[in-house]
Structure 1
Amino acid sequence: MSTAPVLKSLRDSADLRHLRQIIAGLDEGVILVDPDQSILWANEAALGMHGVTAVEDLGANVDDYRRRFQLRYRNNHRLDRADYPIERVVSGEAFSEVVVEVAVAGEKDPRWVHQVRSLVLTNDADEPECLVMIIQDVSARYEAEDRFDQSFNANPAPAVICRLRDLRYVRVNQGFVDMTGHDRDTVLSSTVYDIDVLANGDKRDIGKRALAEGRTVPQMEAELDRPDGTTRLVIVAGQPIEIAEEPCMLFTFADLEPRRKAEAELRHSEERFTRTFSLAPVALAIGTLDGQRLCDVNEAFTSLTGYTPAEIVDGSLGHVDLWETPAIRHAIEADISAGRAIRDREVRVRPKDGDIIDCIVSTEPIQLGNDACVLWAMRDISTRKASERELVSAIDAVMKDTSWLSRSIMEKLARIRAPQSEPTGVGLDELTPREREVLALICRGLDDKSIARTLGVSGNTVRNHVARIYSKIGVNRRNAAAAWARARGFDGDSLLAQRAAAPAQRQTAA
C-alpha cells in the first residue's frame, strides 16, 4: 500500500529565517505564502503598501486577505475571487506586471495602485515549497498618468499619442476627433500607417525618420485626410514621451483650416476688387496711406489724366503736378496724412496735356492684405461746370435788360441766379418810406441814375439807400433785392402810383 507524498511546508524549514533576512530590506514588497494558503510573512515594504504594521493585519490566509482588501482593475472592474494575485500565486501560476487598485474593505475609493508579479520557490524534488508575491507601489506613477490624461483630454488643442514599438495610437483627445472627424475608437485601433498625421507634410521624410528613431519630429505643415474625403490643413509636431514606462510620441496640431479659408476668401475678394477696380468707369487710383506714392491706377484714371501707369505708378500725384495750384496739393496731402477722408471735394486738375479740368475728388482708407492704403476716386465735371457757367452768363445778360420780360419770368430768373435770396425774417416794415420807394424802382428795373432822376436826388444818395436796403434784407445784387420784394408780394406799382398822384391831389386841394 503506497502512501501519497506530503508537501513539506517552508514553515517547518530553517530556510524561512534566512529568506526573511534576505528580503527584509528590499524596496519591493514581498509576501510569502505557504502552499496551504496561509500567509507566512511580509517585509516592511509590503506592510506599508497595505497600510498595516504586522503580518497578522494582512490576514491569516488567502481568504482572510480577500476579506480585508478589495481589488479592482484600472477600468474599475472588480476582480473575481480567482483573479486575485494572491489566489493566482497559491495556484502556482507565474505572472508579471498585473496592475490592480487596492482599497481597504468598507472604503469606496482605492488607496494604492499595486503592480504585482509572482515567484514559486521549489524544493529539491521540484515541489512548491514557498509562494512569493512581489509588489511595487506604483500609485504615484498612475496618479501622474491620471493627471496627464485629464490634462490631455481637456486640452482643446488637437493631440494624439502613438506607442513607438508598434506605432499604434494609445491616446487621442476630443480636439483631434473634432478636427479630423475620425471616431475615437477608430483612432485607438489604428496605427500611424492607417491614419497618417504626417501626410503631405513639407518635411514628411524627415519626420518619418525622426519617428522611427524616437526623436523630436520637427514642426511642419501637413494635410490630414478626413473620413468624408476632404483634407485638413494643420501644423504638426512630435515630442517623445513615456507613458507607463513605454516610449511614445506625442503629436500636437495647430488647425490652419480657418486660416486657409480666410486666405481663400481674401484672395477671392481681392480678385473681385481688382476686376471692379480695373473696369470701373470712374477714375480710380490706389496709393499709400501718406499719399506720397501711387500703387495702381485703372484705365479710367489713365483716360482722365493722360498719364500711363508706367508714368505715374510709384510716384505721387504731386510729382506729376496734377493739381492746378500748390495750395490744392498741400490741402489734399494734409488731409490724407492726417487720416481724414475727402468727400466730393471740387478741385481743378491739370492733366498731362495741360488743359485744366474740373473734378470731384473723394478718398477712402482701405486695407489691401497687410497694407493700409487710400483709394482715390475722381470724376470729371468740366461739362457740368461749363453748362453752369454758360447758364449764369446767360442770366447775367438777361438781367441787364429786363424791360421786355414779364415780371414773373424775371423773378424766376432772379431766383435761379441768386438762390440765396430766399425770404428771411426781415419785413418791409423795417424799410423807411424812401427805401421802399427805391426798392419799388429797383423792381421796375431802373438803375441808380434813373432812380436818382425819378426821385430828384443825387446818385450818391441813391447808392446809400441801396446799400442800406441790401444790408437790411441780406442780399448784394439788384435782382436778388427784386426777388426778395416780390417774394413778399411787393412790386412797388401801388407805391409809385400813390407818389405820382400826390401833386394832383395837392393842386385840387389848393
Structure 2
Amino acid sequence: MEKGQEKKHAGGCGTISAPTGKGISLDAVSIRTIFRASPIGVFIVQGGRFQFANEEFQRTTGHTEDELIGRDASALVHPEDWEKVRKNAIKMLKGERNSPYQYRVIDKAGEIKWIVESVSSISYQNGPATLGYFMDITEREHANAALALSEEKFRKAFRSSPDWIVITTLEDGYYVDVNEAFNDTTGYRRNEVIGRTSVELGIWVDPGQRKEMVEILREQGRIRNLEAKFRMKSGEIRHVLWSAEAIEYGEEKCLIAVTRDITERKIAEEERLEKEKLRGILEIACTTSHELNQPLQYIYYLLEEILEKLPGEKAVEKLKQQCDRMRRVMSKLENITTYSLTDYVNGEKMINIGVSGSPER
C-alpha cells in the first residue's frame, strides 16, 4: 500500500481509519519486554481485537491474557460510553486531541471501573495497530463523587437551615456567603452584606466580643454556643447562641458560623427570674407585715388608753398618725403583685412602695 493510503485498523475504542506509515514499529518480543511490567495498563488492538495486554491491564479488567487476546476491544467498554470513547480515540489518533479521555469499563466480575486512556498509531507485526495506555482511576472518581455529594448536601443544608449560617473571613469578618435564614431574620438582603464586614454593619452589639472570638478560633479552631447580642438592620437587638469553626475557603482563612436565635427563650427566662424575684419579695413583705402587725396593735391599744386620760394631747395624736401610716404601708406590702425600684443611696436600689402593686412603669 502506498504512503498516504488508509487502511482500517482497531483502536482502543473499536475499528477506525488512520494513515499508514505513521507511528512506531514494534514487534511482539519488544512489546513484551518493554510493557510487561509497566505500572499502567498497556494494550495493542489490531483489526478491532486485542493482540497484547500487559499484567496491569489484566489485573484491572480481571481477564487473563488468554481471555483477552483475539477478543473484540469494544466488549469491555460500558455501552453508554461507547460512542464517546470511539469519537475521542479517533480524534487522538488523527492528532486532533492531545489530552487523555475518561470512560467506564466493565470488568470480569461485572464491576464498573473508571479508566483514563490515551492511544497512538503504531505498526505491529507488519500491520497498522493502536497502542493504548490505560489507567484505573476508579478510587479517584469515587472520591470525587463522594466529595460532590458531600458538597451538594452542604449546599442544601446551608440554604435550608432554619439557623443563620454565614461564611466570613476570619481576620476582618468580610461576609463571603450567607443563607436565607440570615436574610430573613436580620432584614439584610444578600447583596447588602456580601463583601462588607460584620463590624461595618454593626451586627455585633459588642465588637470586642468578636475580637475575643477570633483569638479563641486561632487557638482552638472552634467555638460552641457563645452567647452574644446581634443588632438587626431595624436596630432591634436579638440574643443568639453563636458557634463557629475555622476553615480554609479557597486560599483564605475563613470561618463558618451557625447562629441560633434565642431571643424568645431569653425573654421567657427573664420573665421566670422576675417571677421568682417577685415571689421572694412577696414572702418577705408578708412576713414583715405579720411581724409588725402584733406590736402595732399593742401600740394602738396604749395610745387609746393615753388619749382617754389625756384627750387632745398633740404628741399622742401625732404618734397615732405615724401608726396609721405604718398600717397603710403594711396593707400595701400585703397586696404587692408588681413592684417598681427607685434609686437609693450609694447607687443601691429600693422598692418604691408608693407605686408597687400597679404595673411597672
Please tell me the TM-score bracket, short chain as reference: 0.5 to 0.7
Matches within 5 A, 1:50-449: 145=29, 149=32, 152-162=35-45, 169-181=50-62, 184-190=65-71, 200-201=84-85, 203-209=88-94, 218-226=98-106, 232-238=113-119, 249-288=130-169, 290=171, 292-336=173-217, 340-365=221-246, 374-400=255-281, 402=284, 404=286
Partner secondary structure for residue 201 of structure 2: coil
Query: How far does residue 397 in structure 1 lie from its aligned partner after superposition?
Result: 4.6
Let me know the Cα RMSD of the aligned residues: 4.1
Give 1:152's aligned amino acid: F
Query: CA distance change for structure 1 residues 289 and 205 in 2, over 3 Å: closer, same or farther?
Result: farther
- Any idea what the Cα deviations from partners look like across 1:200-228, whole Å, max 9, x if unmatched? 24743332335xxxxx9844214255378
Letter in 2 for 1:363: A
Aligned-partner Cα distance in 2 for 1:369–1:177: 40
TM-score, with structure 1 as normaliser: 0.42
Q: Matched residues in 1 for 2:234 and 2:29: separation?
A: 81
Could you list the runs of 5+ residues in structure 2 that have no partner in the other structure?
A: 1-25, 289-361
- C-alpha distance in structure 1 between counterparts of 2:91 and 2:65, whole Å: 28
Asked whether the equivalents of residues 60 and 107 of structure 2 are also in contact (C-alpha less than 8 Å), the reply is no
Matched residues in 2 for 1:385 and 1:342: separation?
21
Structure 1 residues 200 and 289, CA, compared in 2 at 3 Å: closer, same or farther? farther
1:217–1:239 Cα contact (<8 Å) kept: no
Larger radius of gyration: 1
Instruction: Please give the alpha-carbon distance, in whole angstroms, between the structure 1 residues aligned to 2:129 and 2:157.
Output: 55
Aligned residues: 257
Q: Structure 2 length as normaliser, TM-score?
A: 0.56
The structure showing larger relative contact order (alpha-carbon pairs under 8 Å, at least 6 residues apart) is 2
Matches of 2:67 and 2:250, distance apart in 1 = 41
- Whole-Å Cα distance in 2 between the matches of residues 310 and 183 of structure 1? 61
Matched residue SS, 1:389: helix
| Aligned mates of 2:237, 2:143 — CA distance in 1 | 45
Q: Which amino acid aligns with 2:164?
A: A
Match of 1:106 in 2: none
Query: Which amino acid in the other structure matches residue 262 of structure 2?
Result: I
* CA-CA distance at 1:167 after TM superposition: 6.4
**CA distance, structure 2, for counterparts of residue 207 and residue 198 of structure 1:** 15
* Kept after mapping to 2: 8 A contact 1:199/1:224: no
**Superposed CA offset, 1:25-48 (max 9, x none):** xxxxxxxxxxxxxxxxxxxxxxxx
Tell me by how many angstroms 1:312 deviates: 1.8
SS in 2 for 1:300: helix
Judged with a 3 Å threshold, the aligned counterparts in structure 2 of structure 1 residues 155 and 205 are, in CA distance, closer, same or farther, namely: closer
Structure 1: runs of 5 or more not aligned: 1-140, 211-215, 407-510
Q: Secondary structure at the match of 1:315?
A: coil
Is residue 50–residue 68 contact of structure 2 (8 Å, CA) maintained in 1? Answer: yes
Q: Larger strand proportion, structure 1 or 2?
A: 2
Deviation at 1:346, TM superposition (A): 0.7
The amino acid of 2:89's aligned partner reads R
Partner in structure 2 of residue 125 of structure 1: none
